[in-house]
Structure formats: C-alpha cells, structure tokens
Amino acid sequence: MDNKGCVTAIVVGAGLRGNIYASYAKEEHTKFKIVAVADPKETARKRIKDEFDISKEFIFSDWREVAAKEKFADCVILATQDRMHKEPAIAFSNLGYHILLEKPMAVTPDDCRDIATAVKVNGTIMMVCHVLTYMPKSNCIKKLIEDGTIGEIMNIQLLEPVGFWHFAHCFVRGNWHREEDSSCFLLAKSCHDIDLICYFMGKNRCTTVSSFGKLSHFTKENKGYRGWPLTAVVDNPDVENLTDALLHGPYGKCVYDSDNDVVSHQVVNMQFENGATASFTGVAFTEKICVRQLKIFGTKGEIRCSFDGSIRHYDFNSNKTYEYEPLNDPNIKPSLQGHGGADYYTIKSFVEAVQENDQMKVLTGVEESLNSHLVVFAAEKARLENKVVTIHPDGTYT
C-alpha cells in the first residue's frame, strides 16, 4: 500500500478484462491505484499508461519482466488469456503479490492444483473472478439459504442462455472457439456457473457428475441455407460471392465453416455428499444473453430467480411468496456494469480484501475455486467418455 493506505496494482494483460478491473482505480482513486502495466501490445500499454499516468519504467511488454523485479506493488490483476494463467500466477504469488485471477484459474487440473498450492504456501490472497458470486442477488440468495429459509437444499437448476449471436461471436469465431487454443466450453464459459452451484451448496461436496453435450448447428453441414441474413451480406449468396464478402466485408467468418470445436450446448448433472442434486445447462440457442435462470429447491421452500428480475421465495409452511429485489449501487460506472454489475462488486471485494488483509472478503478463494474447477474437469471427462465420474475427497476423479 502507498503511504495513504491505497492498494497498488499491476495490470498484467491489459485487454478487455484487465481494463475493466483497472477502471475501478478511476472510481476509487483513494483506495486503488494502478502503478504498472505489462502487455505485449503497444496500444494496450499506452491506454493504461495514459489513463493512469504511469511513468516509463513501470511499463513492460511481458509479465516476466515484472516478475524479474522485486515486488513493488500490493497486487496483480492477472487477465491474460486462459492458457497464460498458470506461470504468472505462480510467479507473482511466489513474489508475495496478492492476485485477482481471471477465470478459469488454468486449463488443466494439475495447473489449477499447482496455483492453489503456491498461493497456500505463500500465504497470499487470491481471488478467482467467479464474478456472479459477488452480485447482490447472489448475496441475498446465499443469505436466504444460510438462514435456513428453504431448509436443506435438495436440488439446484441453473441455466446459462448464452445467446445465439453471442455464442457465434465468442465460441464459433472468437477467442474460445477451439479447445486447443483456450479450453472446453464448460471451463471457459461456465466454470463460474459450476462454482455458483457449489457456492450455494456450501460445505456439501460434489461427489459424482455426468455430462452430455455436443457441437450442433454451427457446422459445415448447415452451410447450405441461402435466404436472409445471407442476402444482407451479399446480393447473390453463392459460394464465391459469399466467400469474397466474408473475406473482405464486415461480416467476417462464416459460423458454419469455421474451425470451431467447442460444444454449443451441454448439461451437467451433479450429485452431492448428502444426496442433493444439481443440474447445469449451457446453451447457445437462446434469445437472452447470459441472463441466468436459477431454481433452488429446499425441504421448506424454493427460490426462483432470473438474473434480470427479482428473487422469488415460496415458503411451504405458510404458503406465502416473498419477493426480494436487491438493487445494485446506482453509481456503478458503465465500465464496471458488466455481468449485471458483478464486475464492480468483484474488484471492490478484492481491493477491500487486500486493504484489510481479510481473506473472508474473498468468496471465491483458491480452495473453493480449485474444487469447483475439478468438478468442471470431471464433468468434461464424463462427457467425453460417456460415463458417470466419481470425484474423490482428495480431488482426484475416476
């Protein structure tokens, strides 16, 4: 911390996510200060440099240059791409930095375990950006559960409607369209959905998973259609014209002819230690974009919530329905309004955790995140091997 008690941070990976979290320093300049940036892209470095008035010696083109120096800030915002989390996470933790780590933690179970071990050995704070957990809605639901309002949870259902064009943008054409470049769909998109289910289940450990899913529709077999919206791309949408328009026009790659391989829809069934069950569905083919639908069924009542609406609690004993509408802070600036304001609450909690050295402010610490990531890896094994996978208490799964 600087001499005024302000938490100092280095942005490592100044892309979309790095900039979002960094912008908190604009909102709360007495609490949070960006003091350095590392990114190979000159435009990315310049944006942060200009925005936060950073002097030349604190601008780096690679995280390794930062890690080669002695620790000079409190924390690191680590927002490089999925396959570039492990090495810097371990290196910065070894140097004593607290870390805000974008999800997924890493792309293999062993890499996740190695990160968790390093953080535990070093005694540093790590928050994995399972942003949904930090939403006022999630806090309200968690409190209802912990207060025993719906008794013992017997079943949770969570739907992540990705949205058809959003899916095409990210998972057919974009950064996460091939597993070998990023990770599987469940890890890339929905490790925080699985984490949210585990968070609501509390100490009840997930023991067994199955999963099914495949890539449908966004494949070469579905390329033959020639009506709208193809006619909006080019007048006569034959292969040559369309190819030319897609190569040189604004519409970019054809979603039916890409090299994408991540699934377009997937279900995960989960069984927990006490026999409670949960299911997660992620699906591309939806109108809504990431407006999660959640249902939690307990022995005394149920909770239903669409993430764009209120929380509805029905109590079995009184036969009454209660509505809760936890509102976001109206002053959240546009840069931090992503994920229904969850981005704001994530970075706010992290900065407070570092400032107060209070691990309790981190709802998605390294241990919980590791466990929910292992559920993701186990579910992916279940899908690929078409079998039910058992997760053992030591985190291994067969």
- 26 or 169: whose CB is closer to ligand NAD? 169
Tell me how far, at minimum, the Cβ of 269 lies from ligand NAD, in Å: 24
- 17 or 313: whose CB is closer to ligand NAD? 17
Task: Return the bridge partners of 210, or none.
Answer: 269
Tell me how far, at minimum, the Cβ of 18 lies from ligand NAD, in Å: 6
Tell me how far, at minimum, the Cβ of 5 lies from ligand NAD, in Å: 28
DSSP states of 374-389: HHHHHHHHHHHHTS-E
Tell me how far, at minimum, the Cβ of 127 lies from ligand NAD, in Å: 11
**Both structure tokens of 71:** 């620790």
**Residue 71 φ/ψ, nearest 5 degrees:** -55, 130
Tell me how far, at minimum, the Cβ of 122 lies from ligand NAD, in Å: 21
339 contacts: CB under 8 Å, gap ≥ 6: 131, 132, 135, 290
143 contacts: CB under 8 Å, gap ≥ 6: none
**Both structure tokens of 282:** 């992620």
- 103 or 265: whose CB is closer to ligand NAD? 103
Q: Which of 218, 343, 339 is nearest to 290 (CA)?
A: 339
Radius of gyration of the chain (CA): 22
Tell me how far, at minimum, the Cβ of 17 lies from ligand NAD, in Å: 3
- 100 or 268: whose CB is closer to ligand NAD? 100
Tell me how far, at minimum, the Cβ of 347 lies from ligand NAD, in Å: 11
For residue 149, the surrounding DSSP H or E stretch is: none
- Can you tell me the distance from the alpha carbon of 282 to that of 368, in angstroms, rounded to the nearest whole number? 21
- 84 or 215: whose CB is closer to ligand NAD? 84
DSSP states of 313-331: EEETTTTEEEEE-PPPPTT
- 45 or 313: whose CB is closer to ligand NAD? 45
Q: Which amino acid is at 155?
A: N
Tell me how far, at minimum, the Cβ of 67 lies from ligand NAD, in Å: 10
The CA-atom distances, in angstroms, between 373 and each of 66, 178, 194 are 28, 19, 8
* CA 34 to the chain's CA centroid: 23
The CA-atom distances, in angstroms, between 289 and each of 131, 164, 178, 204, 283 are 16, 8, 21, 30, 10
Q: Which residue is nearest to ligand NAD (CB)?
A: 15
- 18 or 136: whose CB is closer to ligand NAD? 18
- 22 or 278: whose CB is closer to ligand NAD? 22
DSSP states of 263-312: -SEEEEEEEETTS-EEEEEEES--SSSS--EEEEEESSEEEEEETTS-EE
Tell me how far, at minimum, the Cβ of 203 lies from ligand NAD, in Å: 25
- 122 or 182: whose CB is closer to ligand NAD? 182
Chain contacts with ligand NAD (rule: CB under 6 A) = 12-18, 38-41, 44, 62-63, 79-82, 84, 102-103, 129, 131, 188, 339
- Collapsed DSSP state (helix, strand, coil) of residue 83: helix
- 128 or 378: whose CB is closer to ligand NAD? 128
251 contacts: CB under 8 Å, gap ≥ 6: 233, 245
Tell me how far, at minimum, the Cβ of 328 lies from ligand NAD, in Å: 16
